[in-house]
Amino acid sequence: MVCSRKATGDALVCDVRDPSAVDDLVRGIVERHGRLDVVINNAGGSPYADAATMSPRLAERVVALNLLAPFYVAQAANAVMQQQDEGGTIVNIGSVAARRPAPGTSAYNAAKAGLAVLTRSLALEWAPKVRVNQVTPGLVRTEGDSYAAGVEATIPMGRLAQPSDIAAACLMLCAPEARFITGADLYVDGGGEVPAFMTVGDTGA
């Protein structure tokens, strides 16, 4: 989630939904390494929950993890990066659910849509010292995928994303060559999905 240019292999545990815990985390990183150059806001997710019966507590937790937590982390990181000569860069991990909602994830869909707007807002406010961008993955292959073969046929690139595809996009946005890119939302989805009307048989109409 948070890293410095000095590769150390450190692993620090933090509940990113807790602003005070996030402040302590960032402070600890700066004390240990002297600076903070890159933040990848990758925490997120949601269980399936029907919108009609989803509890207020679950809805709040989903929004807290997928929208408020990235804000808390970015806010703490920005306070450090603004004081550095070279500034810093923040990358939020979005979701295609912000543009193409799926049933059972209404709070998640809304939170990820909010994250896309938040990314652009922070990029506007924190430039030129701090660049804020978003990477929006498509479907990513994970262990135990049982649906992959059928889904891959709907993706123009013919396969699901690998985790390394998403990591490469993040590295690109954090590289010096991307120094003029901020407020961008980079879709890494293999071209999206083939529209449903292109997959149905000829109706004769």
Per-residue pLDDT in tens (0 to 9) along the chain, 205 residues: 444 444 456 788 899 999 999 999 999 999 999 999 999 999 999 999 999 999 999 999 999 999 999 999 999 999 999 999 999 999 999 999 998 888 999 999 999 999 999 999 999 999 999 999 999 998 888 766 556 667 787 888 888 899 999 999 999 999 999 999 999 999 999 888 766 656 665 444 4
Tell me how far CA of residue 188 lies from CA of 68, 83, 129, 152, 168, in angstroms. Answer: 23, 32, 26, 14, 10
Q: Based on the residue annotation, tell me whether 147 is a catalytic residue of this protein.
A: no
Tokens in use for 85? 């000569």
Q: What is the pTM of this model?
A: 0.87
Start-to-end CA span in the chain (Å): 52
Q: Given 72, 108, 147, 187, which residue is catalytic?
A: 108
CATH superfamily of 2-194: NAD(P)-binding Rossmann-like Domain (3.40.50.720)
Other C-beta atoms lying within 10 Å of the C-beta of residue 165: 19
Spatial neighbors of 101 by CB under 8 A, at least 6 apart, are 109
User: Domain-by-domain residue ranges, the chain?
Assistant: 2-194
- Among residues 140, 128, 193, which one has the least CA distance to residue 168? 140
Spatial neighbors of 75 by CB under 8 A, at least 6 apart, are 19
